Amino acid sequence: MAEWPDYFTGILAGSPGRSYAVRTDGAAWRLRGGPGLFTVDHGADDAADVIVSGPPTPVLRWLWGRERTGEPSGVTVEGAPEAIEELRRCIVTSTQ
């Protein structure tokens, strides 16, 4: 398991604490975030607040914010809009 509690302090300070799942063909990761918490571990989480799934390349494009406009991506994103937005803010912070 990897942990980065301090890296996301500003983004997650007001978070109620959420879990995220990212799934591709043959691989899955669990992410947990909240005040003072951000972890990534291998494995699926069917009860996650946000589930991102699809073929590997489109999921990677979604995670990096590089979806191709006007083309079907094959990525499914399930969850409350505010939880999805929190995940996106964490991704932007970690990839800048």
Question: Helices in the chain by DSSP H: which ranges?
Answer: 9-12, 56-63, 81-94
Residues 27-39 pLDDT 10s: 999 999 888 888 8
Residues 37-94 pLDDT 10s: 888 899 988 899 999 999 999 998 888 888 777 777 789 999 999 999 999 888 888 7
Check if the beta carbon of residue 39 is closer than 8 Å to that of residue 2: yes
The whole model's pTM is what?
A: 0.85
Question: Of 31, 75, 76, 73, which Cα lies nearest the Cα of 49?
Answer: 31
Distance CA 30, CA 3 (A): 12
Check if the beta carbon of residue 52 is closer than 8 Å to that of residue 62: yes
